[in-house]
Structure formats: C-alpha cells, structure tokens
Amino acid sequence: MNKSRQQSDPFTRGLSDRHIQLIAIGGAIGVGLFLGSAKAIQTAGPALMLSYALGGLVIFFIMRALGELAIYRPISGSFSTYAAEFIGPWAGFATGWTYWFMWVVTGMAEITAVGMYAKFWFPQLPQWIPALIALFFVYLINLIAVKLFGEVEFWFALIKVVTIIALIVIGLVMITTGWGNHGEPIGFSNLWSHQGFFPFGLTGVLFALQMVMFAFLGVELVGVTAGEAENPEKTLPSAINKILWRILIFYIGALAIIMALYPWTDLDGKTSPFVLTFERIGIPAAAGIINFVVLTAALSSCNSGIFSTGRMLFTLASAKQAPQALARVSKRKVPATGITVSSIALLIGVVLNYVIPEKAFTYITSIATTGAIWTWGIIVYAHLKYRKAVKEKGLPESSFKMPGAPWTNWLVLLFLGLVTVLLGLDSETRIALYVAPVWFGILAIGYQVVKARQKNAASDSESDPLAG
C-alpha cells in the first residue's frame, strides 16, 4: 500500500475500527425499518424478505466495489474522486454535486422529522424549535472533531441495533412459548397461511425493490470515511464484509419475526410493527421507546449527512469544481467551511417546509432517490474502469477484490436499471424520473461554466510568466 495515498487528505485519521463498524451498520439500517416496514409488507407480503435478500446482495457487491477502490486510494469524498479518475472529470463533478444535494435534501427531511418526533412528548412546542436545536447539535459535533462524529454515530447506531435485537429475541420467545399470547405458542404459520408466501406473486417482490433499495441509502458512507479511518486496509474490508449478514439478520430476521407474530394482512401500514410487538408483551411505553429510536435514527442520518457533504464539497473544491473557500480545513482538521455551507442549506430546508406546499417539497426530495441510483451506479462503473486500468496501465492493484467482477458489475448495473424502471411504473415515485433530467441538465450547464473558468485560468497562467 503506497503511504502517499493514505496521506493525500489533510484530515485526521480519528475513526477507529468500532466507529467504522457501527457507521457501516447505521448506514445499512434506516428509519424505514422502524416506521416504513408495515407499508412495504403491504406491497409484497411475506415475500418482502426475498426483496431484502436480493437488495442486500446487490448492496454487498456495490460495497465490495467501493471497498476495492477505497483500499487502492483511501480518501475523503471517495467516489467523486474515483469517478473523476476512472470515468472523467465530468463524472466526478456530477457525482460529487449529486451526492451533496442528495444528502442535503435527505437531511432536510430528517431535520423536519426530528421536529415531528419531538411533538410526541411536547405537543405544544412549535415544530421548528426542536428541528433547529437538532441541526445546531449535529453542526457542532461535526465542527469539533471527526472522532466526536464517530463517537456520536457509534451510539446512535448502537441504539438501533439494540432495538432490533430486542424485537427479534422477544419475538422468538413469543413465537415459541406463547408469552404475550395467553400462553399459546404462535409458531411461524402466519408466514404462509394468509394467501400464501407470495400473495402478490413475483410482481410484489419486484415492486417492493424500490422501497428496499432506498432503505439502504447511506450505506455508502463507509467510503467517505476512508480518508479519516485509522487503519483503512483493516477496518474497511472488515466492515464491508459484515454488511451482508447484518442485512440478513437485522432486516430479514426482524421482518420474519414481525410477520410470524402478526398476519401480514393485519398490518395497516400506519402503526409501526415494533410498537405493536412491544405493546403486546405489556410494555406501556412502547410507542415512546420507538419514537425515541426513530428520533435518534433521524439525528444519525442528519449527522452523517453533514459529515459526508462537508467532505464532498472539500473534494469538489480541491478539484476546482466548487468555490476554493470550501477547500479550507480548520485547525481541528475538519472541512469547516463545507460543513457550515451544508448546515446553512439544511437550515433553508427547515424554512422551506413551512413556506412551500408539501408536494413541492416531495419534488425536491425525489432527487435523493435518483441520486442514490446514480451514486451506486457510478461506484460500480468506476470500479469496472479501475480493474481495466490495472490490467492495461499497470495501476497498483487493491488487495480487497470485488468477487465475480466484471460480471457482477454488469449484473448490479442491470439491477439498478430495473429499479429505475420500477420507479416510473409507480405513480407515487414517478416524479423522481421527471425531476432527474432537470437536475442533470443544471449540472451539465454548471460543468460547462466550471470548464470555461478552468480554461481561462490556465490560459492566464500561461500568459503570465510570473504565475505559479
């Protein structure tokens, strides 16, 4: 491993193995499992577990592709850098800004969610107050030090993990002993007794894929941490290799328990199955507990969003594809200007929530949907080009190889194409495909402006013998 590649970022390598491991878990487990799983169950029934198994396998290959690239060059803003190096400067520009905007709009939604969840305990409190407090809280965390970010993410992720494990353990006891069901063991028959395991056939499994894939939004954050991991060659492969079995346990395990406990037809899509399960065993504060968990999950997402967007703006500025002020690093070795700009953008999002109609906000957040597909697709395609460069140009070979490449690369790209088509077939998500061309049109114009400025700067430098 070339040491100069490790030292190419001006950041502190303050993220330990336990930080990276929990950031990987936290990225793979979203709010969707706690609140949105009931709605997803209505789409596919018990066969939803197959959707998660398929989606989890695809995510594993995407992360292995990212892992191989990250070991080759462990740098913050990773996939934007890889896109520029192996596809072209335009790809780095488009990926960096798309990922930044994707996290900003996701953060807008999450910061608003914090305000909504806080109303559970403080119904009279105006929604904008807890939203603002939450934003200020995660802004300060990211400004102080990367180690503090890692520590906070560690505990946020741990809360989610403990809640899911509690559901699985309690659920298994209820299924096998009848605890919470008048002493009658429930068994697993609910998984096939109500219109079968495939109540909507293969169509249900396919249509659930879009919800499944966006439950995984944020899993690629591990790649952004590469530039600040203490020992990336050890910690990144370990965290990435565990993603698949964690998805199997946390998502498929939790769903299997939920649908064994309750006929899938009884889950209305409005009440969290986690609340139902904890209430069934006589925990009166069940709704409060889950509300606390989803509040911390929303805070975690916003915290990760500010972390990743700050690094992405730094990478874009370093490539002269964003204002140069964003390439500054504070005394604490964090991209303070980028973090501040991203936080201001999130603050605008809180204001927009009250100014513009809900539909207009949905149009904006749909970019997060297409942004995820674009980012994952670019990671896999950049990896394909990297492998080609290793063979043809003698580029240093990564020690952490993606299995099955290049065939698995093409299969993942085909899968992401299928999910894009499915987005267009659903009336609720179709708007994403209308917004995407507008966004990429803006990026195309922006890139031409950047290119023209770079060209002018280069010609000015050549004409001035004292330049540089």
Lowest mean pLDDT among 195-199, 264-268, 371-375: 264-268
Distance CA 258, CA 38 (A): 9
Contact (Cβ atoms closer than 8 angstroms) between residue 258 and residue 171: yes
| pLDDT > 50? residue 1 | no
For residue 463, the model assigns a pLDDT of 61
Residue 415 has what pLDDT? 97
Contact 65, 402 (CB under 8 A): yes
What are 116-147's pLDDT values in tens digits?
Answer: 788 889 888 887 888 889 899 999 999 988 88
Lowest mean pLDDT among 33-37, 59-63, 347-351, 402-406: 33-37
- Per-residue model confidence (pLDDT) at position 6: 43
Average pLDDT on 8-37 reads: 72
pLDDT band at 273 (very low <50, low <70, confident <90, very high): confident
Domains and CATH numbers, the chain: 14-450 (1.20.1740.10)
**Residues 370 and 94: beta-carbon distance below 8 Å:** no
Q: pLDDT class for 328, splitting at 50, 70, 90?
A: confident
pLDDT value at residue 3: 42
pTM: 0.88
Angstrom CA distances, 204 to 43, 213, 247, stand at 6, 15, 20
pLDDT in tens, 392-404: 988 988 889 999 9
pLDDT-derived band at 9, boundaries 50, 70, 90: low
Q: Is omega for the bond preceding 406 within 30 degrees of 0, making it cis?
A: yes
Q: Which of 74, 143, 161, 463 is nearest to 307 (CA)?
A: 143
Single-letter code of the amino acid located at 449: V
* CA 49/CA 463 separation, integer angstroms: 64
pLDDT at 159 > cutoff 80: yes
Q: What angle do CA 218, 223, 224 make, to 5 degrees?
A: 80
Between 360 and 243, the more confident residue is: 243
- Cβ burial 80-96 (10 Å sphere, 16+ → b, else e): bbbbbbbbebbbbbbbb
